[in-house]
Structure 1
């Protein structure tokens, strides 16, 4: 059964890929993939709740204007870069992925 989502969401683009399981792909402002969220097992209500929680702006109609404060929604402020941590005990530095979080989701 195909998953249908309201296309009145700002900065949300729907692409139908025949044979592919539906998923929400979150991209950074540089179009780098941040996360993939499978949608196959979700109801329409759950998907609508998810995109609302992620901060997508719902327009009244597809051609309705978007308030300035939502132009870049659901983007989050860019994470600030922190200086590299000093090596932990034993001379080992924690792996990069252990120090990062998805702050821009």
Structure 2
């Protein structure tokens, strides 16, 4: 959880690669509604703050991971080897 002063609260769901999957606004929800939402999404709630988290929940996403298509060479974010231009902002 990250508090951003002045920002409307929202739940941001990330993949195991920290890619954003979904944003859910929370400002119009009560605490009980937020707790229910988190439970419905599949998050584990510990009985005590220092209790261990079961292995199956340690890296589990709230929803199944989407199947991503394989990356093609054209999708690569690295510039071609022959391109030695520097970025103008560097």
- The interval holding the TM-score normalised by the smaller chain is 0.5 to 0.7
Runs of 4 or more consecutive aligned structure 1 residues displaced over 2 Å after TM superposition: 73-82
Once the two structures are TM-superposed, the CA of residue 72 in structure 1 deviates from its matched residue by: 1.8
Structure 2 unaligned regions, length at least 5? 70-90
Q: Report how many aligned residue pairs link the two structures.
A: 69
> Bigger relative contact order, structure 1 or 2, given CA contacts below 8 A and separation 6+?
1
Which runs of 5 or more structure 1 residues have no equivalent in the other structure? 1-13, 83-105
Per the normalisation by structure 2, the TM-score is 0.67
Query: For the residues of structure 2 that align with 1:24 and 1:44, how far apart are their CA atoms?
Result: 13
**TM-score when scaled to structure 1?**
0.58
> What RMSD over aligned residues (CA atoms) do the two structures have, in Å?
1.8
Q: Answer with 1 or 2: which has the greater Rg.
A: 2
C-alpha distance in 1 between matches for 2:53 and 2:42: 13
Residue-by-residue CA offset, 1:5-31 (whole Å, 9 max, x unaligned):
xxxxxxxxx211100000000001100
